[in-house]
Amino acid sequence: MTILKYAAAAGCGFAFALALTQSDLWAAAVAPRFPKGIPNLTENNTGAPGGNWLAGAKDDAERIRRLQIYAGGTDQQMWQVGYRYEQTFHAITDGNWDFALYQWGKLRDVMNVAFMKRPNRTPNGEAFFLDSVWGQVEGVLKSKDPQAARAAFNQVARQACQGCHEAEAMPWLNTQDVFKRTASFPN
Ligand code: HEC
């Protein structure tokens, strides 16, 4: 394309965009609207869709429905569990026992939230992790013994996390990065 042709094409594009911005077509294209992927949002709103996605809901039942959708499922908490698990690993590596216990406590709390939201996961979650493994590892962290903490993390906690993922028929969770990064402690 010569420079002149390029300039002409660009000019046409600009004129077209200008015409579009002044048309109803454009106004409709950019007007706020609820996504197609979540049903019945428009019907259950008091006004036009806007930033008030909760306040604008037609009643509390709809507000609660929206909050439940927003809160998501197990994955939202497991995402955080993965983070806190890795932070615990680093804290053990550093011998920062207060931080390790802090992370380990938050990890338990957030896992309970996951099972409040998805109680079908509670039986495996408690059997594999919460009922005994969590407390066992907490006790070892409190002892501030680096070797015992490393062993508990690798051989007790890791097995419990991964055992539950297998029991929940998602064994492929166990080859994700967080388990690779925490597979062994540096010397
Ligand atoms: C119920 C038993 C159970 C236990 C115990 C458990 N998980 Fe999970 N985990 C799950 C399930 C189920 C999912 C998939 C969630 C979904 O499909 O919404 C998951 C997903 C994950 C994910 C992926 C999250 C994402 O969406 O990116 C991570 C990371 C994770 N778990 C880490 C851990 C770690 C670390 C532990 C141990 C401290 C652990 N899990 C213990 C059941 C468990």
Considering just the CA atoms, what is the radius of gyration of the chain in Å?
26
Residues 3 and 53 in one domain: no
What's the pLDDT at 25? 84
Q: Mean pLDDT for the chain?
A: 92
Tally of domains within the chain = 3
pLDDT of 82 above 80: yes
Atom of ligand 1 nearest to the CA of 121: 1
- Looking at per-residue confidence, does 166 or 29 come out higher? 166
Q: Percent of the chain beyond pLDDT 90?
A: 84
- For the residues 55-59, what does the mean pLDDT come to? 97
- Range in 5-14, 61-70, 128-137 the model is least confident about: 5-14
76, burial (CB in 10 Å: exposed 0-12, middle 13-18, buried 19+): middle
Could you read off the pLDDT of 124-162 as tens digits, one per residue? 999 999 999 999 999 999 999 999 999 999 999 999 999
| Secondary structure (DSSP) of 164-179 | HHHHTT-GGGGGSHHH
Q: How many whole angstroms from 161 Cα to the centroid of ligand 1? A: 7
Cα–Cα distance, 171 to 113 (Å, whole number) = 22
Q: Cα–Cα distance between 14 and 111 in angstroms, integer? A: 54
Q: How far lies 147's CA from each of 80, 127, 152, 179, in Å?
A: 26, 26, 9, 19
d(CA 138, CA 160): 14
43, 91: one domain: no
- 42 and 26 in one domain? no
172 and 80: one domain?
yes
Looking at the structure, tell me whether residues 119 and 94 fall in a common domain.
yes
Q: Is residue 43 part of a domain?
A: yes
Residue 45 counted as domain residue: yes
- By the 8 A CB rule, do 54 and 70 touch? no
Asked whether the predicted pLDDT for residue 7 surpasses 80, the reply is no
Are 62 and 142 in a shared domain?
no
**What pTM, to 2 d.p., does this model score?**
0.88
Do 149 and 174 sit in the same domain of this protein? yes
φ, ψ (nearest 5 deg) of residue 45:
-115, 150
Residue 187 domain-assigned (yes or no): no
Task: Give every CB contact of residue 127 below 8 A, 6+ residues apart in sequence.
Answer: none
Residue 186 within a domain: no
pLDDT score of 70 more than 60: yes
pLDDT beyond 60 at 12: no
For ligand 1, atom 2, which residue shows the shortest CA distance? 125
**Which pLDDT value is given to residue 17?**
57
The domain of 13 spans: 1-31
Tens of pLDDT, residue by residue over 18-42, are 565 566 787 778 999 999 999 999 9
Q: What lines the ligand 1 site, CB under 6 Å? A: 73-75, 78-79, 81-82, 85, 107, 121, 124-125, 128-129, 157, 161, 164-165, 168, 170, 173, 178
Backbone angles phi, psi at 57, to 5 degrees: -65, 150
